[in-house]
Each structure stands twice: as structure tokens, then as C-alpha cells.
Amino acid sequence: MRPKISIVIPVYNAELFLRECLDSIYKQILKDFEIICVNDGSTDDSLSILQEYKLKYTNITVINQKNSGIGSATNKAIKQAKGEYLYSLDNDDYLVDENVLNFLYENVKKYDLDILTFNYKTEKHIKKIKQKSYVVKSGKEYLCGEHIPPLWSRICKLEYLKSINFKFLENISFVDTEATPRLIIGAQRVMHIDKVLYHWRRLGNEKVSISQNLNNIKSAYAYMETTKTYDSLFNKENNKELKNILKKERFKAIIEFTRIIAVVNTKESEKLLYNLMCLDFDIFEKIMIKNEKSFFYNSYILNKKKIYYPYVYLLRKITKQFI
């Protein structure tokens, strides 16, 4: 018999929190679900924990693969999924109470939704998706809203995912950043509910320093792919309002990309920037992109104070108004 919900969990070195994640699912009131865990080459005891739960429960599938990234792991799990709806969790997070799955299932069925989104929280903050609650929209209308949901704050109809042949890109970081607009734009019925259902565990400080967070060429590739995705959607769209939204999101992605390559500052990063600058940016965007690169290079490579490049700093203040 087909389960109501397929729950996908990519797992990598999560031994400290994996039991809490799985227990938050198994204490749910709704019991008609399957769990598909993909161990992505963990080097700790994560696989042993998964095997422990597999001996205890009959509705958990454990797939073991060499380390290939979250995109590969999630795609493999989606391919195995048999439920009516699909929901993905991070391996160190958890559902806030025992009624989450029941609440989600009742609402996606009641409103016949392709995608249902909801709020989440961290240890310190409530994170609200800025969309009107209980209003059914098309995917394009949803994208015109103020906030696009992360992977863990949405549940999707599996038939819809198959109808658009949805897959995450593999071998990049931030797979959801690139994939979310592709996922939402083609949906016919999307709804948000202003309710906190998920706890996102932020390990360490919420704001990691730029030098730690951005000094990674893989991150640059992720934002490059995100920029290309938004550019492709922009070029296919006719609705003026949505085109403006897609253009703004494309600009956000290229700015993030620019910050990374300014810090990495290698021949490879310069080549990536050259390739992206071949996209159809307007003069304003090109100026802001070059200025953002200059700001980060001066700040994090040369360690200059703002007083030495006031015009660059001023232009950056202007840029932030647009992103």
C-alpha cells in the first residue's frame, strides 16, 4: 500500500543529532509514512545508527553510497520514494511536535496542493516565510512574494515532482538555492501556512565570518549555477512583475558569487566571473558587480579600512538596497 508521505534524509556525519531527528518522526501521530535515508559516505557512526533503526522499524530504507554530496543523495532518495507526498529533512534537525506530519497531510489533501510551505525556527529565532497564509497561488504568483522557502519548510506532491522531472544539481554546494525557483515556477497550486513546524539547528554562531563562509570555490560554482537558472527562467518569462523578481534574484546570486571569487581570487575564479559576465547584464548591474568584487578584495585580501576606498563603500551601500 502506498504511504501517505515519503520522508527523505540525506545523512553525512550526523551521529550527534541523527537519533533526535529520527525520533521526532517516529513519535508522529500520523504513522503512514516511509523514511528513506541515504548515508553519503559518513566517517562517523551515522551508518551504524541508521542500521540500528532499520532493525527496529520496517518502514525505513537505508541506502549507502560513497560521498557524493547532498544533491546526489537526495536525488537517489527521491527516485526510491513511493509516497503521495515527499518531505525532506536535514539530518541534524527535527519536527517541533508530534502532529506535524498529520497537519501537513491534512492540508495538502484538503487544498489539493502541489507544494505546501510553512515556517521554521532556530534556537534563537522564528523564521517566517513572508507569504499570505492559506491563500492558494500558482507557482509564478508565489515567486512574486517576498520570500522563497528553503528545502525543509515545504512538502511536495510526488506526482508533481515526477511531472517536471525534478532533480537537484549534483556536485555543487547550496543545491536548494539553485533548485527552488525551478521547483516552484511550474506548480499550479502552492500555499503557505503561517505556522512553525520545523526546528533548523544552527551550529555555532548564526553569522559565520565572511572569510570562513566564502573562501570556497565550490560555493562559487553553486551561485554560478543559481545565476544561470534565474537567467534561463527570466528569458522564458513574459509576465513583467515576475521578470523583475527573477532579475532581482539573479542579481542577488551573482553578487554572492562575486563576493566569493573576490576572496578566493584565483585564475579559476576569474575565469568563472568572465563566463558569467557574458550574460545579458545591464550597465548598472555590471558596475555594481565590479564594485562588489573590489569591496571584498580590499576588505578581505588587502585588509584596507573603508576610509581608503570611500566611493567603493558608498556604491556598495547602494547595491545593498537592491538585494
165 vs 159: CA distance, rounded Å: 10
The least confident of 8-22, 84-98, 188-202, 251-265 is: 251-265
User: Residue 179 corresponds to which amino acid?
Assistant: A
Please report which confidence band the pLDDT of residue 114 belongs to, taking 50, 70 and 90 as the band edges. very high
Predicted model pTM: 0.90
**CATH fold label, 5-199:** Spore Coat Polysaccharide Biosynthesis Protein SpsA; Chain A (3.90.550)
The least confident of 7-11, 182-186, 255-259 is: 255-259
Please report which confidence band the pLDDT of residue 2 belongs to, taking 50, 70 and 90 as the band edges. very high
Find out whether 96 and 121 touch, Cβ atoms under 8 Å.
Answer: yes
| 273 vs 136, residue with greater confidence | 136
> How big is the CA angle at 294 (ends 291 and 299), to the nearest 5 degrees?
125
**Average pLDDT in the chain:** 90
Residues 6+ apart with CB under 8 A from 198: 89, 93, 94, 95, 96, 100, 118, 119, 120, 121, 152, 153
User: Tell me: the pLDDT tens digits for 146-176?
Assistant: 777 888 899 999 999 999 999 999 988 889 9
- Would you state the pLDDT for residue 308? 64
Please report which confidence band the pLDDT of residue 38 belongs to, taking 50, 70 and 90 as the band edges. very high
Reported for 280-286, long-range contacts at CB under 8 A and 24+ positions apart, including other chains, are: 280/231, 281/254, 285/251, 285/254
- Would you state the pLDDT for residue 273? 85
- Would you state the pLDDT for residue 94? 97
Can you tell me the mean pLDDT for 217-243?
Answer: 92
- In 3-state terms, what secondary structure has residue 119? strand
- Would you state the pLDDT for residue 313? 78
For 177-212, letters b (16+ CB in 10 Å) and e give bbbbbbbbbebebbbbbeebbbbbeeeeeeeeeeee
User: Tell me: the pLDDT tens digits for 165-208?
Assistant: 999 999 888 899 999 999 999 999 999 999 999 999 865 433 33
- Would you state the pLDDT for residue 205? 38
Kind and range of the H or E run holding 284: helix 283-296
Ordered by start, the domain boundaries in the chain are 5-199, 210-320
- Would you state the pLDDT for residue 316? 82
Find out whether 40 and 11 touch, Cβ atoms under 8 Å.
Answer: yes
Find out whether 221 and 174 touch, Cβ atoms under 8 Å.
Answer: no
